[in-house]
């Protein structure tokens, strides 16, 4: 018998039929003798509908009121799932975030969880009742309802699992696990049985949008074993957990990529201290997020300073950079938005030299030119031309033996 927190997203709760399907899944775990706490999102589309209503009446209204309205989406689905479970003969009880109590800070629409009162939930579990908790919301210090921001239901699930010291937090989505890469790009992509929190963070932030980053950080911090599974297809899913010895066998866990980046190069900048700050300061002030940053030491007393931003921010970032370039006496600014970032991710590479060079060699073998390189302990990222994305992913997937039945380095 285990204590399991299960989180079902908006697609899983999208209709009465789907809610009944989720009900049967929950019931089957209860029948197996497990204690289950369920966390649910609003029906897919409902939060958007509510916010549209709110912004229709006042586009610049206070975020507290937006939260008052948006938080009703989950309040409906918790009630519906509790009713479905009752009908199925499973005792259940729904809780809004404030009812649990899930305490948050006062940052409406992007609140952070401060603490969770586990008492009611544990008492229910002991009494054979399945608590059904609204994701995405909690109670601010002044008693108002606050939402955690979009996708916050994953975080609610993990935070509750941490508070209850649950054996596992299961996140049910419409994919059946975490893959070595996007199966739409490489059909031979393979579902991973296990992946570490760190790897998952790199995979998520690099574009494999299976889980909310914050929930993975949270799970890693509180050491909550996290499992990603499909609501609609049975299977073991992917377990996201702490590193263990067995994992070190695999050099690379997966290949992530991001298509929405753009590259800016401030060329011929006088090579003196403070250059990076001079260029990136105004970019940050304009609320533009910078991803990769590369600076080469120049030969002629100048240097090329290159960084990537979200494609939507390119124009704004280019304007700012051009102004800064003039002030610095740089030669000019080059921009490119037909680029993508491809990353190898794996905790195994920490203890193995040569992963980067093996990667560059494979790409060279496919005649793919690398425009930018950035590395971390468990990741090597390259920027290449967008037209080579699929080729690069497939080449690397093969080179590192990630395919179905492929070699394990």
Q: Which residues are annotated as a binding site?
A: 7-10, 47, 74, 173-174, 179, 184, 209-210
| Residue 284 CB, nearest approach to a second copy (Å) | 31
Q: 83-96: b or e for each residue (b if 16 or more CB lie within 10 Å)? A: ebbeeeebebbbbb
Percentages of the chain per state (helix, strand, coil), in multiples of 5: 40, 25, 35
Candidates 90-98, 181-189, 277-285, 288-296 — which segment interacts with a second copy by CB under 8 A?
90-98
Task: Give the containing element (helix H, strand E) for 377.
Answer: none
Q: Which is nearer to a second copy, 18 or 227 (CB)?
A: 18
Q: Which is nearer to a second copy, 149 or 225 (CB)?
A: 149
| Residue 166 CB, nearest approach to a second copy (Å) | 23
With contacts defined by CB under 8 A, how many residues of the chain interact with a second copy? 37
| Residue 71 CB, nearest approach to a second copy (Å) | 8
Q: Which is nearer to a second copy, 144 or 205 (CB)?
A: 144
Q: Which of 11, 21, 48, 68 binds a second copy (CB under 8 A)?
A: 68
**What backbone torsions phi and psi does residue 148 show, to the nearest 5 degrees?**
-85, 0
| Residue 11 CB, nearest approach to a second copy (Å) | 18
Candidates 77-85, 197-205, 277-285, 345-353 — which segment interacts with a second copy by CB under 8 A?
77-85
Residues 16 to 45 in contact with a second copy, rule: CB under 8 A: 16, 19-20
Please say whether the beta carbons of 276 and 328 come within 8 A. Answer: no
Please say whether the beta carbons of 384 and 368 come within 8 A. Answer: yes
Q: Which of 5, 37, 39, 69 binds a second copy (CB under 8 A)?
A: 69
DSSP string, 34-78: -EEEEEE-PPTTHHHHHHHHHHHH-TT--HHHHHHHHTHHHHHHH
Candidates 49-57, 205-213, 230-238, 261-269 — which segment interacts with a second copy by CB under 8 A?
49-57
372 is an interface residue for a second copy by CB under 8 A:
no
Candidates 78-86, 151-159, 163-171, 268-276 — which segment interacts with a second copy by CB under 8 A?
78-86
DSSP string, 220-276: HHTT--EEEEESSS-S--EEEE---GGGGG-S--EEEEESSEEEEEEEEEE--TTHH
Candidates 85-93, 206-214, 252-260, 270-278 — which segment interacts with a second copy by CB under 8 A?
85-93
Report the first-to-last Cα separation within the chain, whole angstroms: 37
| Residue 144 CB, nearest approach to a second copy (Å) | 7
Residues 234 to 273 in contact with a second copy, rule: CB under 8 A: none
| Angle, vertex CA 13, rays to CA 43 and CA 154, nearest 5 | 85
Q: How many residues does the chain have?
A: 409
Binding residues for ATP, by number, are: 7-10, 173-174, 179, 184, 209-210
Q: Positive or negative, the Cα torsion across 320, 323, 329, 335?
A: positive
Please say whether the beta carbons of 150 and 115 come within 8 A. Answer: no
Cis peptide bond upstream of 240, omega within 30: no
Q: Which of 57, 127, 299, 353 binds a second copy (CB under 8 A)?
A: 57
Binding residues for substrate, by number, are: 47, 74
Torsion, Cα 160 165 167 171, to 10 degrees, reads 20
Q: Which of 28, 45, 61, 366 binds a second copy (CB under 8 A)?
A: 61
Candidates 80-88, 238-246, 267-275, 368-376 — which segment interacts with a second copy by CB under 8 A?
80-88
d(CA 136, CA 96) in angstroms, rounded, equals 10
Candidates 58-66, 160-168, 221-229, 369-377 — which segment interacts with a second copy by CB under 8 A?
58-66
Residues 109 to 168 in contact with a second copy, rule: CB under 8 A: 143-145
Please say whether the beta carbons of 310 and 260 come within 8 A. Answer: yes
| Residue 100 CB, nearest approach to a second copy (Å) | 10
| Residue 372 CB, nearest approach to a second copy (Å) | 45
Torsion, Cα 167 170 176 180, to 10 degrees, reads -60
* Residues lying near a second copy in the complex (CB under 8 A): 16, 19-20, 50, 53-54, 56-58, 60-62, 64-66, 68-69, 71-72, 75-76, 78-80, 82-84, 86-87, 93-94, 96, 98-99, 143-145
């Amino acid at each position: 018998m285990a204590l399991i927190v299960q989180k079902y997203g908006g697609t899983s709760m999208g209709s009465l039929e789907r809610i009944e399907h989720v009900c049967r899944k929950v019931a089957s775990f209860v029948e197996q003798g497990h204690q289950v706490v369920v966390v649910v999102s609003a029906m897919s589309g409902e939060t958007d509908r509510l916010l549209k209503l709110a912004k229709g009446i006042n586009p610049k209204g206070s975020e507290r009121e937006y939260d008052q309205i948006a938080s009703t989406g989950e309040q409906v689905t918790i009630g519906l799932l509790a009713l479905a479970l009752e009908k199925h003969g499973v005792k259940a009880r729904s809780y809004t975030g404030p009812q649990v109590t899930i305490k948050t800070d006062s940052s409406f629409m992007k609140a952070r969880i401060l603490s969770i009162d586990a008492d009611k939930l544990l008492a229910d579990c002991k009494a054979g009742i399945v608590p059904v908790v609204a994701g995405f919301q909690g109670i601010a210090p002044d008693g108002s309802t606050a939402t955690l921001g979009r996708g916050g239901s994953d975080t609610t699930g993990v935070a509750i699992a941490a508070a209850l010291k649950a054996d596992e937090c299961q996140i049910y989505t419409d994919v059946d696990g975490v893959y070595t890469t996007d199966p739409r790009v490489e059909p031979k992509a393979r579902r991973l049985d296990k992946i570490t929190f760190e790897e998952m963070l790199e995979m998520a932030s690099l574009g494999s949008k299976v889980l909310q980053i914050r929930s993975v950080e949270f799970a890693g911090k509180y050491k909550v074993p996290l499992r990603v599974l499909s609501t609609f297809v049975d299977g073991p899913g992917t377990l996201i957990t702490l590193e263990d010895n067995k994992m070190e066998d695999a050099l690379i866990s997966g290949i992530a990529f991001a298509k929405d980046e753009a590259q800016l190069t401030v060329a011929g900048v006088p090579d003196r201290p403070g250059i990076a700050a001079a260029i990136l300061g105004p970019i940050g002030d304009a609320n533009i997020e910078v991803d990769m940053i590369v600076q080469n030491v120049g030969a002629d007393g100048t240097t090329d300073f290159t960084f990537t931003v979200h494609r939507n921010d390119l124009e704004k970032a280019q304007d700012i950079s051009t102004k800064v370039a003039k002030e610095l006496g740089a030669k000019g600014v080059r921009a490119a938005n037909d680029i993508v970032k491809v990353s190898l991710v794996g905790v195994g590479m920490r203890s193995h030299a040569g992963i980067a060079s093996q990667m560059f060699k494979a790409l060279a073998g496919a005649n793919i030119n690398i425009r930018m390189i950035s590395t971390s302990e468990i990741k090597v990222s390259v920027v290449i031309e967008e037209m080579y994305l699929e080729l690069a992913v497939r080449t690397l997937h093969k080179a590192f033996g990630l395919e179905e039945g492929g070699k394990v380095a």
